[in-house]
Amino acid sequence: MSSHSTRNLTLLFWVNFFGTISFLQPVLTLFYVKNGLNEADILIILMCWSGAVFIGEIPTGVFADAYGARNAFLIGSIIKISSIGILLMADSLTMFMLFSIFNGLSVTFFSGADEALIYESLKKDKNHHKMDEVMGKIQSAGFIAMMIAVLVGSFLAKDLQSEQFQLLILFSIISYIIEFILLLFIHEPSGKVEVKGTSLQNVIEGIQVIKKAPQLLFLFLNLTLVFIPTVAVFQKFDQPLMINAGLPVYIIGPIYAVGALLAFFSSRSINMLHRNFSYKVLMYFSGFLSACGLVVAAIFQNQLWVILFVVLFLRWVGAIRYPIYSKLSNDLIPSHIRATTISLLSILDSVFDLVVFTLLTLFATSGIQGILIGSAIVALIGSTLPVQINKRRAKLGSSLINR
């Protein structure tokens, strides 16, 4: 690998490291509660984030296509720093909603453009065949950053005092400023960096793929209707569950760290599991177990060891599903519009985020227990949707090309 791609990829590794650190994350929900927010308010904040991602996904992709990935990164970084800065003075639901909107929008400036820059950097040096290997190394930086952030964050905020939260926010801002500085040194490959999925023609073609392969849509729904309640929702309420069950705040970080390790090893054990069970069985069974985990947490929410088991279990079982989904879904998508179709599914995921979060606000009147029961119902529905393995990918691709 030559100096050009090595330079960019090394920078992106550290950009991912400093850009994904959130020292407030292990106590974020407790921070919300400390500022007077209730369960319904937290769901509204989640809806704001998903809404911002839904609205910003395509326009920011167009911006990256027109002005380059590096410029998109810089703007996204500035918006992210601004969003975290809002938390320094946030004391109302409106301020937290504004934070969530800005934070969600910042993500869209990186979405797609990062992979495009990596690919073009490798392509310039004729190393684009190493894309999978390089992506794995760069994404590993986020895993390391999360381990550090959850341990430091939960320890420094162990008393849940305002000044402790402020310190964690300042640490996060410093990390994001370092990310911004690193982004300044990224070199755009000569020529235009292509960010796929932003033209009307590609969008229409991606929609055609989904229409011609309804099993892709069902597979996506099986994944996302389990992922939203068990990850996006449960992981926003597991902090008060653990605290109410008697866990000291400073132990939350180590619990999250253990969960991250379980998820890491879980995602690396897919091949071993597949030797004993089919992908379909793994998707159905993991989804059903996820729904059961939510029910158990709702019934035994005052039992600490039960809650800790569910927290770790859902992280373990959740890590199994996405790699399987990625493999099965990519078998259904023609390669010439793969990025476009995945982008459309990402937008659809934001839509379902909003639908599920809105639905769960109806259950929020019963507190966390009601939200967990509602989440379990959604996860159970998702886990029963059909998973089909397409063995005619080539035929599907040729029919779309010749339509």
- The number of folded domains in the chain is 2
Q: Which of 45-54, 190-199, 225-234 has the lowest average pLDDT?
A: 190-199
**Between residues 116 and 248, the one the model is more confident about:** 248
Candidates 51, 75, 52; CA nearest to 63 is: 75
Over 70: is that where the pLDDT of 224 sits? yes
pLDDT for 23: 93
In contact, 68 and 60? CB cutoff 8 Å? no
- Same-domain pairing of 298 and 383: yes
Whole-number percent of the chain with pLDDT over 70: 78
For CA atoms 173, 75, 192, 198, the dihedral sign is positive
Q: What is the tens place of the pLDDT at every residue in 17-53? A: 999 888 998 899 999 999 999 989 999 999 999 899 8
pLDDT at 339: 53
Q: Are 145 and 94 in contact (CB under 8 A)?
A: no
Kindly state whether residues 233 and 330 are assigned to the same domain: yes
Can you give the residue range of the structural domain that contains 285? 200-403
pLDDT at 304 over 90: yes
d(C-alpha 320, C-alpha 273), whole Å: 9
Of 138, 164, 195, the residue at which a domain comes to its end is 195
Q: Tell whether 188 and 207 lie within a shared domain.
A: no
Q: What is the pLDDT of residue 403?
A: 38
Q: Is the pLDDT of residue 199 over 90?
A: no
Q: Can you give the CATH number for the domain in which 144 is found?
A: 1.20.1250.20
More confident residue, 132 or 115: 115
36, 62: one domain: yes
Q: Which of 90-104, 242-256, 283-297, 332-346 has the lowest mean pLDDT?
A: 332-346
Q: Are residues 11 and 107 in the same domain?
A: yes
pLDDT (average), residues 272-293: 88
pTM > 0.85: yes or no: no
374 confidence band (pLDDT: 50, 70, 90): very high
